[in-house]
Amino acid sequence: MLKNWVVVPTRLPLVLRRCHACASERFRASGKFRVNANHKLIDAWLLALCTACGETVKLTVLERMNVRSIRPELLDRLHDNDPGLTAELLQDPVVRRRNRIALDWDNAWRLDTGGSDHLDREVIDVSVRFAARIPVRPVRLIAEGCGLSRAEAERLITEGKLVSAVRLSGKLSGDFTFTLKR
Identify the pLDDT of residue 170: 87
List Cα–Cα distances, 122 to 18, 19, 143, 158, in angstroms.
49, 51, 16, 18
Identify the pLDDT of residue 117: 67
Per-residue pLDDT of the chain (182 residues; tens, 9 = 90+): 688 999 999 999 999 999 999 989 999 999 999 999 998 999 999 999 999 999 999 999 999 999 999 999 999 999 999 999 999 999 999 999 999 999 999 999 999 988 776 667 788 899 999 998 899 999 999 999 988 899 999 999 999 999 999 998 889 999 999 999 87
List Cα–Cα distances, 53 to 29, 30, 101, 104, 140, in angstroms.
14, 14, 19, 18, 33
Identify the pLDDT of residue 84: 92
Identify the pLDDT of residue 146: 87
Identify the pLDDT of residue 121: 77
String of DSSP letters for 26-81 = EEEEEEEEEEEEETTEEEEEEEEEETTT--EEEEEEEEEEEGGGS-HHHHHHHHTT
Identify the pLDDT of residue 147: 87
